Structure 1
Amino acid sequence: MKIITDDIQISLPPCVATIGCFDGVHRGHRYLVRQLCQVGEERRMPTALITFPVHPRQVMQADYQPQLLSCLPQKEALLQTLDADYCIMLPFTRQLSQLSAREFMALLRNRFNVRALVIGYDHRFGHNRSESFHDYCRYGEELGMEVRQARALVEEGVSISSSVIRDLLKRGQVEDANHYLSYHYYLDGVVVDGYKVGRKLGFPTANLRPSCADKLVPAEGVYAVAVYIGGKRYAGMLNIGHRPTVDNGAERSIEVNIFDFSEDIYYKQMRVEFLHYIRGEKKFDSLDALISQLRRDKETIIHLLNLQS
């Protein structure tokens, strides 16, 4: 796949395209792209994904916090694994937002040589987003562009979508979210100084400052995680929350106790992949009660991950 970030001099051959945010590049997106490629084969044309480097609502609403499943570098890497020939990063602007659906389709036809457009089953575009699929088909006929509607990927009555996955992560249901994503949801960033309370409790932690402030942080609680540092993988126990038992203030922390690990990793890059949700965060009556619970949590994780205790 060729990713195009500057379309000033681009000259694409006649192509089949689809458009969307592709946040998370999950299994629903992959199903859409497979349908796109089928149309490309039928019409013997290359295929293109048209997406945006910044979420459209961030352009329209200065205070909007998108809670992304994938920030731009991760999205680009995931898109590269798909079978489409091109990915066009179309900057979303206020001017673009004012285009009607027909005007936007004309832009796709004239600037990117789109001759067939595969539309996601629930996708709407145009400044008022009021037109139906039948309207898109009518505009396509006028512009010389075939329009097809993709099928949704439905499992057990659930249409897999970015919003469904976000809701799962907000409830701590990382196993289900990972299934829909087809990979383990993760946060990455830099290890920073913390309160060093975990060390006193016998569970030293690395505190993660995420590299992408717009990426969704899962529900507060304790998780079994895989930790990646310097190309090596470790098992760990991660807590998201406010540490109510030790009363460290209102700031939320993301801290991980890495099993069988004692290196100094301050200010190094770290990635944590969410594997299992263990329990919610709670306030304990004493530090001893907290330590006992942490020991039980660790044993639970060792069992879940089939590690040697």
Structure 2
Amino acid sequence: MEILTENPSLVLPPSIATIGCFDGVHRGHRYLIQQVCEAAVKRGLHTTLITFPIHPRQVMQADYQPQLLSCLPQKTALLKQLQADYCLMLPFTHELSRLSAKEFMNMLHEQFNIQALLIGYDHRFGHNRSEGFQDYCRYGKELGMEIIQAQALIENGVSISSSTIRKLLKEGNVKDANHFLGYSYYLDGKVVNGYKVGRTLGFPTANLRPSCPDKLIPEEGVYAVHVYLKEQRFAGMLNIGHRPTLNNGSDLSIEVHILDFNADIYDQSMRIEFVQRIRTEQKFTGLNELIEQLQQDRKEVRKLLLE
């Protein structure tokens, strides 16, 4: 796949396209893109995915916090794994937001040589969001652009969507979120200095500063995770929360105890992949009770990941 940015000299071959934020590039997105590729083969067209470098609502609302499943570098890497020919990163601007659906479709047709457009089952675009699929078909007929309606990926009555996955992560249900994503949800960033209390308890931790401040942090609690350091994988016990037993205040910490590991990794890059939540965050009566619970947590993590 070739990643493209809009520029005056950009010329694409005749293509069928689909449009979306593709946040997370989850199984629902992959099913949509598979439909684009199949339709392209039947029509002898190339495939183009049209997306945006930042979430459109961040342009329209300065204080909007998107809680992304994937930041741009992560989204781009995931999209590159797919079979489409092109991915067009279309800058979302106030001017673009004021285009009607018909004007937007005409721009795609005239400027980017989009001959057919596959539209998600519930996708709406253009300034007038009340327009729907039948309106798009009418505009397409006038513009000489074929409009095709995509099918949703539904499992057990649930449509696989970014909003569904966000809800699961906010509930701490990373196991089902991973199933819908088609891969393990992860956070990456740098290891930074923390309070260094864990080592005094026999549970030294690495504190993560996420590389993407807009990425969704799952619900507070203790998780079994895989930890990647310099392409090596380790089993880990992750805590997300405010450490109430230690009076950590309002600061949210993301700290992982790496099993069977003892090395200085400050300022190194680290990636944490979620496997399963073990329990919610709790306040204990004292350090002895906390240590006892951490020992139980570690046994459970070891059983899940190493046995």
> Which residue of 2 is the match for residue 39 of structure 1?
39
Shift of 1:6: 3.6
Aligned residue pairs, count: 307
Runs of 4+ in structure 1 displaced over 2 angstroms?
none
Q: For residue 9 of structure 1, report the CA deviation from its aligned partner.
A: 1.1
Match of 2:170 in 1: 170
Aligned to 2:258: 258
Q: Partner residue of 1:128?
A: 128
Gapped regions of structure 2 (runs ≥ 5): none
Q: What residue number does 1:216 align with? A: 216
Quote the Cα distance in structure 2 between the aligned partners of 1:101 and 1:6: 19
The root-mean-square deviation of aligned C-alpha atoms, in Å, is 0.7
Matched residues in 1 for 2:95 and 2:193: separation?
44
Q: Secondary structure at the match of 2:49?
A: strand
Contact 2:49 2:84 in 1 (8 A): yes
Match of 2:149 in 1: 149
Query: Deviation string for 1:109-155 (max 9, x for gaps)?
Result: 01110010000111000112110100000000000000011000000
Partner of residue 102, structure 2: 102
1:90 maps to a residue whose letter is: L
Distance 1:38 1:15 in 2: 12
Counterpart CA distance in 1 for 2:229 and 2:261 is 11
Distance 2:35 2:77 in 1: 21
The 5 A counterparts of 1:20-35 are: 20-35=20-35
TM-score normalised by length of structure 2? 0.99
How many percent identity over aligned positions? 67
2:195 match? 195
**For the Cα contact (< 8 Å) 2:6–2:91, is it kept in 1?**
no
Letter in 1 for 2:253: S
Letter of the structure 1 residue corresponding to residue 295 of structure 2: R
Aligned to 1:140: 140
Letter paired with 1:162? S
One-letter amino acid of the structure 2 residue matched with residue 143 of structure 1: L
SS in 1 for 2:243: coil
SS at match of 1:99: coil
Return the offset for 1:249. Answer: 1.6
- Aligned match of 2:288: 288
2:242 & 2:84 partners in 1: Cα distance? Answer: 43
Unaligned runs of 5+ in 1: none
Deviation at 1:5, TM superposition (A): 1.8
In 1, distance between residues paired with 2:268 and 2:303?
Answer: 29
2:148 alignment partner, SS class: strand
Per-residue Cα deviation, 1:233-257 (whole angstroms, up to 9, x for no partner): 1000000000000112210000000
Q: For 1:183 and 1:57, locate their aligned partners in 2 and report how far apart those are by CA, in whole Å.
A: 26
How many Å apart are 1:189 and its aligned residue?
0.4
> Counterpart in 1 of 2:88?
88
Aligned counterparts of 1:128 and 1:279: Cα–Cα separation in 2: 45
Alpha-carbon shift at residue 230 of structure 1 (Å): 1.2
Deviation of 1:278 (Å): 0.4
Distance 1:300 1:260 in 2: 15
Q: CA deviation at 1:8?
A: 2.2
Residue matched to 1:246: 246
